[in-house]
Copies of this chain bind each other. A is one copy, B any other.
Amino acid sequence: MTPRTNDTIEISERSGTAFRLSKGDRLIVIDPRGEQVADLLAFNAEDLDEVISSGRTLDYAETIYLTAGHKLYSNRSNVLLTIEEDTVGRHDFLLTPCSTATFDHFYPTLPRHRGCFGNLAAALEPYGIAPDRIPVAFNCFMNVPVDGETGKLRVLPPISKAGDRIVFRAERDLVIGLTACSAPDSNGGTFKPIHYRIEPAG
């Protein structure tokens, strides 16, 4: 469950995975075909009650659009991940992973799907992380523009192209959850895989 090589690993469409990342490791998340979203969660491996926090991170970054140089903070105001590289520049940190309930809400005529929420819950269960502990995810490549006047938000296809990537450095030992998103609106109506690679610290 903890890939330690430089091999590229595929998360197949509408699925998810979890793995450990050691302090100093780099996690490269790649959109292999373009216009696909990967929901990312990070928990402190030494104390799973510490988890990435959109509210802390947006407060410190003073922007809703995070990119290279920004840090992802925990609910205890510690840095869990630093964004080192980003070939896209548009990701979302406002919305929670899609779930059965969001499918019922947004896609009532489509077959139900457990979504990224269900995929993350299943992948994180072996680590002892309960579904209720899943917060707002850092949604790599997700394109959620906000109208500054009205506040209205829209979920548009990502602007990522095939091969685009975002690179994170682990600032602590972490448990990571990562998906290839299951919601039609997030990726322009298609379902595609996500690739990732871990570059070990030393």
Contacts and interface: CB of A to CB of B under 8 A. Distances in A.
A152 B54 CA distance: 15
How would you classify the secondary structure of chain A's contact residues: helix, strand, loop or mixed?
A: loop
Interface string A45-58: 00001100111101
Interface residues of A, number: 39
B99 A77 contact: yes
Contact of A54 (B55, B132, B150): B55
B148 A102 contact: no
Contacts of A152: 62-63
A149 B148 contact: yes
Contacts of A59: 95-96, 102
A77 to B, nearest CB: 3
A134 B50 CA distance: 11
Nearest to A66: B151
A136 B63 contact: no
A120 to B, nearest CB: 13
A25 to B, nearest CB: 24
Contacts of A56: 96, 102
B62 A132 contact: no
Interface in A113-157: 130, 132, 134-137, 145-154
20 contacts: A49-B130, A50-B132, A53-B96, A54-B55, A54-B94, A55-B95, A59-B96, A59-B102, A62-B153, A62-B154, A63-B150, A64-B146, A64-B153, A65-B151, A77-B105, A135-B135, A145-B148, A146-B146, A147-B148, A148-B148
